[in-house]
Structure 1
């Protein structure tokens, strides 16, 4: 390498080093920096989630400022972001920034998205679209598939409830057909239709696409032959057949 090439190399290396130091310094200092804002100009923007699940009032309620105040004050943006995310379990990401000309603070919150509601021996929870549980929100009604289970661990959340909820999202006709889904021992799922007192059973979630349509076959071919009151438990996970258990 020529002397000119070596100088150029070290010049770029020094420039990259300085850029890295500046970036690190910005991140390190941002948590300590304070910015002047006019509280009554504060904007709260909600992205994602279900309509009405997370609203602006939820965010303004936990802000360390009175958004009706017209007196300028100093705020710590990093502290505000941390507070919103800590106080609101439904907030996935929080980003706060300030317009230097208008002194207007904007707080953008990306909402977690509930896709299923489940009841366990630990209480009532939502499952979000990443397979993470969160407490249900008081006073908010979100139309979601409902699952009952005695015990739900992290493995059950990721391997059973998450794929089940994803299937229901992709097949709204089934989500509206069932009122409740119950998780039993042995990873058996019991589906209870909104109309009638049948119980449709499948083993796990791997073959829902093929197994649930057997319900149509049950109603069209079996019920007309034997009557509506002969069977109660209808097992759908047997290859090429439907196994029915008589009512007690």
Structure 2
């Protein structure tokens, strides 16, 4: 008796699994984690379109049993705005997709008019049609981007990325510096958000010391005359900030 009952239950379970496997995907439910300010580089509507292009037909035309979840996740993670993707199928045959976006950190505009972002890992990503990230801008004489150029650490692009990391770690400096320019000599020039001064930073060497001098000067030295009295601040000389008056 018990053996027959077990076979009946097994038959029912296998039948249900077979019916689910042959049933078609009923819907695609997309959830994208927003960036810190609530913005999106990629939209929920983009995801089904992206998958349709890669799989040559809409995902809802596939039986559930033919949906390769791992491949689907890999395809999504190839998108330049996607850091990670997780997918699963629920009891109603809906494919759920959860997206974590890449975070743009720097905007690069070089002398060849190449325009792109670097993310928190130092990897290149294109501008988004949905949102222009409000991050520090770097312009000027920069080497072309290539794979692992930041991790190599022997070039101006890596120097700029590391300088930006130092700025980000300090709330005052992060709020102060709006733009970085690289001149033909490979020297860095900073533009503050407040005032119209030029901050001559020089080469990346001794960056932490230069930034500390700049911070101390803004907090203490400028209290006497105010920033409007000066045209530029020069950090290239050890132990001092050389000011040029207007």
Cα RMSD (Å): 3.4
TM-score, length of structure 1 as denominator length: 0.67
**From 131, 142, 147, the counterpart of 1:151:** 142
Alignment of 1:29-178 (within 5 A): 37-40=24-27, 42-47=28-33, 49-50=35-36, 51-54=38-41, 55-64=43-52, 74-86=66-78, 88-99=79-90, 101-120=91-110, 121-153=112-144, 154=149, 155-156=154-155, 159-178=158-177
Question: How far does residue 113 in structure 1 lie from its aligned partner after superposition?
Answer: 1.3
Q: Which residue of 2 aligns with 1:13?
A: none
Q: Which residue of 1 aligns with 2:10?
A: none
Question: How far does residue 49 in structure 1 lie from its aligned partner after superposition?
Answer: 4.6
What is the CA deviation profile of residues 74-101 of structure 1, one whole-angstrom value per residue up to 9, with x for unaligned ones? 4343443343234x211123333324x3
Please say if 1:217 is aligned against 2:202: no
SS of 2:180's partner is strand
Compared CA separation, residues 228 and 70, structure 1 to 2 (3 A): closer
Compared CA separation, residues 169 and 60, structure 1 to 2 (3 A): farther
SS of 1:119's partner is strand
TM-score, length of structure 2 as denominator length: 0.68
Question: How far does residue 138 in structure 1 lie from its aligned partner after superposition?
Answer: 2.0
CA distance in 1, matches of 2:51, 2:32: 15
SS of 1:174's partner is helix
SS of 2:160's partner is helix
Q: Which residue of 2 aligns with 1:3?
A: none
Q: Which residue of 1 aligns with 2:190?
A: 191
CA contact (8 A) 2:24 2:61 kept: no
SS of 1:162's partner is helix
Instruction: Give unpaired runs (5+ residues) of structure 2.
Output: 1-20
Worse-matched range after superposition: 146-155 or 206-215: 206-215
Instruction: Give unpaired runs (5+ residues) of structure 1.
Output: 1-33
Q: How many residues are paired up?
A: 209
- Which of structure 1's runs of 4+ aligned residues deviate more than 6 A? none
Question: How far does residue 145 in structure 1 lie from its aligned partner after superposition?
Answer: 1.1
Compared CA separation, residues 66 and 109, structure 1 to 2 (3 A): same
CA distance in 2, matches of 1:35, 1:208: 62
